[in-house]
Structure 1
Amino acid sequence: MKIYYLFILNILRFICYIFNLIKKNFIKLCLVTSIIITFFFIIYIKNYNLHDNEKKALLLNINGIIFENNNNIFWGKFGLSLFKIKNKKFLTNTLFNIVKIIHLANNNKNIIGMVLKLNNFLGADQVSLEYIGKALNQFKKNGKYIYAISNNYKLAQYYLASYANKIFIYPNGLIDLYGSNNDKIYYKSLLNKLKINTHIFRIGLNKTAIEPNIYDSMPNKTKKIENKLYSKLWLNYIYDIVKNRNLKPYELTLKKKDFLINFLNKKYINKYNLKYKIIDKILSYKKTKEEFIKIFGLNKKKNNYKFIHFYKYKIKQILKKNDNIISVIFINGKILNYNNSYQNINNSLIINKLKKARLNSKVKAVILRINSPGGSISASENIRNEILNLKLSGKPVIVSMSNLTASGGYWISTPANIIIADKNTITGSIGVFSVINTYEKILNFIGINYDGLNLFPNLNLKPNKSLTPFLSKIIELNIKNGYEHFIKLICKNRHLTPIEVNRIGQGQLFLGEEAKKLKLIDKIGDFDDAVKQAVKITKLKQWHLNWVI
């Protein structure tokens, strides 16, 4: 007991000591605190450019790939280590952040133009490129010039560059605009050599995802289907560039023969590019800097033109908070019951976000931004049910389709009040499949055998044993039931007959405009159109977006 009281006494003594120490040094502590606050305030002012009235350019120097949102940056440590990228800025390229900064710079009187530097830009999907292009056009309409510069231009780089007033290229640079591709790995022979037994179950003759398991090359039928799809995407790409640069389609690319003959003579190719206004100037790094100094002025300290870097441009927008929220929920990647990869969606995480939106009285509408090839039937159905609950609670649900919203991605879209897709959105793929690999042959070959008691051998799915006829039949019935449920959902929500849905089903893919004709979507548009629809349905006069990460 004595030890206990001594322990309490020591604690009280320590508290008194600290109190007296603070009392004696109160003035010193206040002084130190004031110095720290002043220091951070100076940094704040410097970072946020509160007193910077200097005219300059916005340097939009995009490093890496553009993603939909932070959760969609699936490269993570894997991608950075794979490409030996150490620059953390590769993780900050989110589509809506880029567009927001372009809009803020457009409204900033001190930003008088833009330098679109594309040397380190690694690409983005076509829908994202279009959306950025729209923001660049709005920037130009405000009388602000855009100058694009790069050592080389590939498809994505040149697409963004085409929105610039002037396109510059470094000497010996190349413009590579020779179509898109959709290469796939086929490994039937590998599976055979490894003695892996593949069991395929599908409804949807055009469900091509299973083909790598059963072919060594792309079937002719699939080539025809994909050629039609990607040719249309290519024409849309060409049309935008031709429109932006005021060109003729045949001027945009050299013929194969001419390209091969003149490939080594880069000066000839760039003369061709200059002649047909594919580029505006060929400039060295030094000449480019001099050109921009003439336009934007000289920064004497840095001996360079005056600019503010995109990554240092602080978003200072003051949001007028109110009680009317339009929530934006991203659904990016494969839809699964678990998340075992950097590019999958854990359905429970999405369901929790949807529940929070439903239960939050301040949320008046929800925009689902979907970029998914599909996934598990059960995971997709779980998400769809929660979206339906959200809709039945009286809150409008607007689906904004990104680059790809197919199969399970379309499944979860069906309950929405309105479905909006871009002209280049790939959607459809109404069908169901399952691929099950078993390894009994290779295990037997290397001398590994399994044995034991099993009360229900016909119902046991094990990778070390082939599927029994009974189990195969059960899986077939599950696939059939899943497909029939998919058809019913589309019939009910899209007001189509089973015959109409079966005609456009079977795993077929469609671009946005064709999907609209087939009544799979309601409107062609982008994310901004989805916001407008949410405001229109809810009749809100004041609102703000809540980006659910």
Structure 2
Amino acid sequence: MKRIAGFLGVVWRALDGLRKFMHLVVLLVLFVAVAALLAPGIPIVPSKAALVLAPQGALVEQLAGDPFERALAEFYGQRRAETLVRDLTDAIGAAKDDRRIELLVLELENMTGGGITKLQEVAAALADFRASGKKIIAYADGYDQSQYYLAAQADEVYLDPQGLVLIEGYGYYRRFLKGVIDKLAIDVNVFRAGKFKSFTDQFSRSDMSAQEQEESLAWLKVLWTQYQQGVTQARSLEPGAIAVYANEFAQIAKTHGGDLAAAALEQGLVTELKSRREVEEQLKTLVGEDEREHGYRSIMHWDYLAARRPVRRLHSEGDRIGVIVASGEILDGDQPPGSVGSDSTSRLLRDALNDDAIKAVVLRIDSPGGSMFASEVIRREIDALRRAGKPVIASMSSTAASGGYYIAMDADEIWASPTTLTGSIGVFAVFPTLERSLDKLGITIDGVGTTPLAGALRLDRSLEPAARDVLQASVEHAYSVFVGQAAAARAKSFEEIDRVAQGRVWAGSDALRNGLVDRLGSYRDALDAAAERAGLGKDYRVEYIEPPMGWREALALRTQVLAARIVRALVPIPQLLGDARRWLAPLDAELRRIVRFGDSGQLYYYCPCSVE
């Protein structure tokens, strides 16, 4: 009987296991079926169509966060908060020679900026597109300063009759924390080398020093001049027209009775005032009507890239230039995209070193700097590439200052834009202590130690003189190392670099004059220089060297993205959370930065000098 019961038990468990397995198979089939319905295929490029360039959020050199974090952002409805500059330039460049693309439409309402240097990269691609004989049309309900810079590159710029063009010029404003620090009874101990190294002023001052105002205004004027020149040339305006429009905007608005659209038209900033419907009807006459969508025949730039890039990948074998993007603050260890990690970025540089097909490397930098130690780790890997005979070209985007300059200075050539913010060769350390705050709460600290440094770096004790002397000496030594390394890399004396260092920020055009960079030019110019040094000729290939993704990670990512789409289709996520996160993002980033830079006397090559 026991044998029969045992046999039946085995049969039952087998049947139960089979039942569970079949349930799993059915669920998997259902999931795959739903995923197949929601997953987009490779888009088809229609013939005689308009390419719609519609950047979302800020223009960046690298999307922030790893793929899983971006998939989570998609779940919350924040999928396109950033747009890669190279996505825009690649789409424009491909469309220029694509017979299926008749014209290009700029839809810029959702673009939130990105810096004049990145705008110039996109504008240059637009100029090449126009030179091919194809038309560019821009339309918006209104243009802010960054949006208008790109719109001005169009053959025809349309503005809604109720809209405006807002050009403000460039400003640089910082938050100063002395008032709140005093109220909280926090002692912020600051150590710095470089008389212009002003990041730490926010802890000790309530306003900007006259010295920082003078320095900042110098590079702001370069950015403003470049902006005016770019718009004036594109729109064939009189010299000084943009400055007049910005400086006398209130009077111009008053003259036109508050009709800001009419003011923009009269000043020559737009071609004509038209509603969105009128522009769409005009586009239908140019490229025809999409029978399914009932709009004009078009394809969005991200769909166009999805259709073009699989074809390009088929022809990507052979010798090539490797591009490594260093975007964001420089931090220790492994960091996700959007930050520069000493370990993660060094790993990419070693991948380039060990890949025989990579004949030269372009390091595309868009970084205000950060950790001194992390910057040095990365610099050593760049030096190893050069010693191995692989040319390294540093290409500076909007910002390559302090630590961003440190990782560039050992390259064979340094290319900057006239509007790049660079230099800021200086060092600081910050160490806050809370003994007065705790004392107000009735908490005191006491004890003994065997040496003057025992317990000297506690946040709840005043900083001892011995510890203070050590930190200041460390900062001064780090500054000497920075200046000495720069002098060796630039073939100049210590004194020559020291004169243009001192933590001072320079625009790219001034950095060239001061010998901190080799040439002014675009990202494409830097690629050409790398190809020339590597002997690859003009028809070279480019590979972006990024962290590899194994099949498990790729499968998990794909599942997460599809699950996000399914959940969003069934249960829409309220947009309020996403909006609140966008509003709080700048303050959150600044608070995180302050906390990070108060890390137990760490030394930093950092410059808070970015402007949009």
- Which TM-score band (shorter chain)? 0.7 to 0.9
Summarize deviations over 1:311-349 as a string: whole Å, max 9, x none.
322234424233423211111122121468996422111
How far apart in 1 are the matches of 2:300 and 2:181?
Answer: 50
Q: Within the alignment, does 1:498 sit opposite 2:488 as a pair?
A: no
Task: For residue 136 of structure 1, report the CA deviation from its aligned partner.
Answer: 0.6
Instruction: Mark the CA change 1:267 to 1:478 in structure 2 (over 3 Å): closer, same or farther.
Output: closer
TM-aligned CA deviation for residue 263 of structure 1: 5.5
Distance change (3 Å), C-alpha of 1:78 and 1:484: farther
Q: Provide the C-alpha distance between the structure 2 equivalents of 1:369 and 1:255, rounded to a whole number of angstroms.
A: 33
What SS class does the counterpart of residue 299 from structure 1 fall into? Answer: coil
Q: How does 1:248-397 map to 2 (within 5 A)?
A: 248-252=238-242, 253-254=244-245, 259=250, 262=253, 268-313=259-304, 314=306, 315-316=308-309, 317-319=311-313, 320-338=315-333, 344-397=339-392
Asked whether the 8 Å contact 2:330–2:375 carries over to 1, the reply is: yes
Give the SS at the match of 2:185. coil
Partner residue of 1:198 out of 176, 188, 191? 188
Cross-structure match for 1:518: 514
Q: Secondary structure at the match of 2:168?
A: coil
Partner of residue 602, structure 2: none
For 2:118, what is the secondary structure of its paired residue?
helix
Q: 1:482 to 1:257 in 2, by over 3 A?
A: closer
Distance 2:252 2:154 in 1: 30
Q: Secondary structure at the match of 1:388?
A: helix
TM-superposed CA distance for 1:73, in Å, is 9.0
State the SS of the aligned residue for 2:173.
coil
Structure 2 Cα separation of the partners of residues 266 and 79 of structure 1: 47
Query: Any residues of structure 2 matched to 1:68-79 within 5 Å, and which?
Result: 68-71=61-64
8 Å contact kept, 2:64–2:339? no
| Counterpart-to-counterpart distance in 2, 1:261 and 1:481 | 55
Structure 2 residue 171 is matched with structure 1 residue 174: no
- Measure the CA separation in 1 of the matches of 2:252 and 2:113: 28
Using the alignment, how far apart are the partners of 1:301 and 1:479 within structure 2?
A: 65
**Does the C-alpha gap of structure 1 residues 189 and 90 become closer, same or farther in structure 2, counting only changes over 3 Å?**
closer
TM-score by length of 1: 0.87
Question: Are the structure 2 counterparts of residues 197 and 483 from structure 1 closer, same or farther at C-alpha, using a change threshold of 3 Å?
Answer: same
Q: 1:338 to 1:174 in 2, by over 3 A?
A: same
- Distance 1:158-1:345 versus aligned 2 partners, 3 A rule: same
Distance 1:341 1:108 in 2: 35
Letter in 1 for 2:458: K
Distance in 1 between residues matched to 2:267 and 2:393, nearest whole Å? 43
Q: Which amino acid aligns with 1:336?
A: L
On the 8 A contact 2:70/2:79 being kept in 1, the answer is no
2:424 maps to 1:434: no
Q: 1:358 to 1:71 in 2, by over 3 A?
A: farther
Q: Does 1:217 align with 2:217?
A: no
* Aligned partner of residue 213 in structure 1, secondary structure: helix
Change in CA separation of 1:382 and 1:71 when aligned onto 2, cut-off 3 Å: same
Residue 473 (structure 1) aligned with residue 464 (structure 2): no
* Cross-structure match for 2:55: 62
Give, as a single letter, the amino acid of the residue that structure 1 aligns with 2:471: I
Amino acid in the other structure paired with 2:312: I
8 A contact 2:326–2:367 mirrored in 1: yes
| Cα displacement (A) at 1:358 | 1.5
Distance 2:96 2:374 in 1: 42
Separation of aligned partners in 2, 1:259 and 1:505: 40
Report matched runs for 1:142-161 at 5 Å.
142-161=132-151
Q: Counterpart of 1:402?
A: 397
The DSSP-based 3-state class of the residue aligned with 1:70 is coil
Relative to 1, partners in 2 of residues 1:113 and 1:203: Cα closer, same or farther, differing over 3 Å? Answer: same
> Counterparts of 1:361 and 1:261 in 2: how far apart (Å)?
61
| Long gaps (5+) in structure 2 | 19-28, 547-612
- Kept in 1: contact 2:71–2:79 (CA 8 A): no
Change (3 A) 1:255 1:307: closer
Match of residue 178, structure 2, among 183, 188, 207:
188
User: Which sections of structure 1, spanning at least 5 residues, go unmatched?
Assistant: 19-32
Counterparts of 1:80 and 1:356, CA distance in 2: 29
Q: 1:185 to 1:263 in 2, by over 3 A?
A: farther
Classify the secondary structure of the residue corresponding to 2:200.
Answer: helix
Q: Once the two structures are aligned, what percentage of the paired residues are identical?
A: 27
Compare relative contact order (CA 8 Å, sep 6+) and give the higher one, 1 or 2: 2
**TM alignment of 1:29-48, pairs within 5 A:** 47-48=42-43
For 2:515, give the aligned amino acid: K
How far does the alpha carbon of each residue in 1:68-103 deviate from its partner, in whole angstroms, 9 at most, with x for none?
Answer: 1224799x679979xx97242335x11111111111
